[in-house]
Amino acid sequence: MTHRPVLTHTRAELADALSRLPGTKALVMTMGALHSGHLQLVREARELADHVIVTIFVNPTQFAPGEDFDAYPRTLDADMDALETVGADLVWAPAPQDVYPTPATVTIDPGPIARVLEGKTRPTHFAGVALVCSKVVNLVRPDVALYGQKDAQQLAVLRTVFSQLDIPVRVHPVAIVRAQDGVALSSRNQYLSDDERIRARTLVRTLRRGVEVAEAGAEPKDIISQCRSVIDAEGGIDLDYIALVDAGTFEILAGTESVPVGEGAAAPTILPDGSREGRILIAATVGTTRLIDNMEVLLRDATGPVGLVAEQAGGLA
């Protein structure tokens, strides 16, 4: 049986509401404009803890000048209605001054893992993400925090930050949720026109091409070359990057300059059979909307055949 979650805004309201929730707690952090992907995070959170806390906050420190902070959709009433259907217990929807009572003069440098791909395009982004996530985890003190695999690099950054700062929370990844046409769900999808939505489907087609040629034994550089051919054939898409990375370290294996992530990152993700987990990541602008997506592959060895790791993501993924 679902119930409407308690809505809080200030730190004092949050602390009081948390004190009334005995048992284990799961945290789902969002910027609102909730869709089915967010709701899947809450559903999985209910399986992992006694209570689910959801935050709704458009965090200014992760937006650079000229990005869509002011335009980012804010739909609190609709978000509360959606969360009522999946059993969230508590929502914290603070104003910026509640999260940052004084100007944010302290920063967190997540290290080399945050300087490639998204971090190269948006150099201040992951520092802002690391700061707000660390602050909220410290305020909520959850047993587990859930983050979506669509933001795969963010997930890797937060694992690194929480581990190295000894922040006592377990990080739980949740698979990508896709619409029926294969497009990864995102709050920014609502910016797409009908024609742009059709072009946006090219991203998932590109990733699937990479998986197909990987299954056939292509080397990393050829996987990325085939992916680029899909983008080039479509037209009307401004490609930021497409890269094959190690799923744990985010070492770039193909697609752009090879950048070692340095000491302190996670170890390469080697499975019991000796294969290495990889991930193909893409970022591109369709119209005026910047979209990201990714898909997993298995690297049998440094130069050998690659096979698909199926994503239990729903839709056409």
Average pLDDT for 264-288 = 77
- The residue that leads in pLDDT, 242 or 259, is 242
Mean pLDDT taken over the chain: 88
For the chain, domains (ranges, CATH) are 6-174 (3.40.50.620), 189-300 (3.30.1300.10)
Residue 249 scores a pLDDT above 50: yes
Residue 261 scores a pLDDT above 60: no
- The yes-or-no answer on residue 38 being catalytic is yes
> Which band of pLDDT confidence, cut at 50, 70 and 90, is reported for residue 263?
very low
State pTM to two decimals. 0.87
Each residue's pLDDT tens digit, 64-114: 888 888 888 899 999 999 999 999 999 999 999 999 999 999 999 999 989
Q: 61 exposed, middle or buried (CB, 10 Å; 0-12, 13-18, 19+)?
A: buried
Cα of first residue to Cα of last residue in the chain, in angstroms, is 30
Binding annotation for (R)-pantoate: 62, 154
What does the pLDDT read at residue 297?
87
- The residue that leads in pLDDT, 250 or 183, is 183
Binding annotation: 31-38, 62, 148-151, 154, 177, 185-188
Residue 274 scores a pLDDT above 70: no
Catalytic residue among 3, 9, 38, 125: 38
Average pLDDT for 245-260 = 74
Listed residue (268, 280, 293, 264) closest to 109, CA to CA: 264
Which percentage of the chain shows pLDDT scores above 90? 73
Binding annotation for beta-alanine: 62
Each residue's pLDDT tens digit, 107-151: 999 999 899 999 999 999 999 999 999 999 999 999 999 999 999
